[in-house]
Amino acid sequence: MPSFDISSKVDAQTMDNALNVTRKELQTRYDFRETKTEIEFNKKDNQLLITTETDMRIKAIEDILMSRMAKQGLDSKSLEFTKEAYASGAMMKKEIKIKNGIDKDSAKKIVKDIKESQIKVSTAQMDDIIRVTGKKIDDLQAVISFLRKNDYGLPLQFINMKN
C-alpha cells in the first residue's frame, strides 16, 4: 500500500549556512560596525543565542536571519522566539529555539484534520513522525495538498513516499 511520512525537521548544515551568511552581512552593515555582536548556534540543543548591545539590533538580526533562512529554503516557522531579550551587563541576549519534530499537540491536530477531511487514508503516529497510508496515491496527494493549505505553526515536510 502506498504511504508517506509527515515530518518537521530543520537541516543543521543548511541552518549553519544561513547563519554564516547572516554573520557576513552583519560585518558589512554600517549600523553594526564596531559592535560586539555575536550569533552562536548550539547544534546539540538546537538553539541560537544572539548577543548585542541594544534591543533594536536584536530585531534587525532577527529580520536578517529570517530573510537568509528563506533564501536557503528554510521556513521561519521553525524558529521559536523567546518573549524578550534579557540584559547581561551592558549586553542584551536573546535565545531562539529551533523546532525539530512534530510535538504531540500538533500531531493530534494534524491527525484529527486528516480524519475530518474524509479522505480514505489511515494515519499512525510514530515519535515525531506521522505515517499516512492509503490505497491510492491520489488519496495521499490529496492529503498533502490539504495539509499545505492549513497552518500548524511548523514547517511540514512530506518524505518517504512509497508506492
**Distance in angstroms (rounded) separating the CA atoms of residues 156 and 91:** 36
CA nearest 41: which of 65, 60, 58, 25?
A: 65
Q: Do the two domains 3-8+102-162 and 12-98 of this chain adopt the same fold?
A: yes
Residue-wise pLDDT tens digits, 85-130: 677 778 888 899 998 888 888 899 999 999 999 889 999 998 889 9
Q: Is the pTM of this model over 0.85?
A: no
Architecture of the domain whose range is 12-98 = 2-Layer Sandwich (3.30)
Q: Where are the domains of the chain?
A: 3-8+102-162, 12-98
Domain 3-8+102-162: state its class: alpha beta
Q: Exposed, middle or buried: residue 6 (CB in 10 Å: 0-12, 13-18, 19+)?
A: buried
Using pLDDT thresholds of 50, 70 and 90, give the confidence band for residue 62: very high
Helix (H) or strand (E) holding 11: none
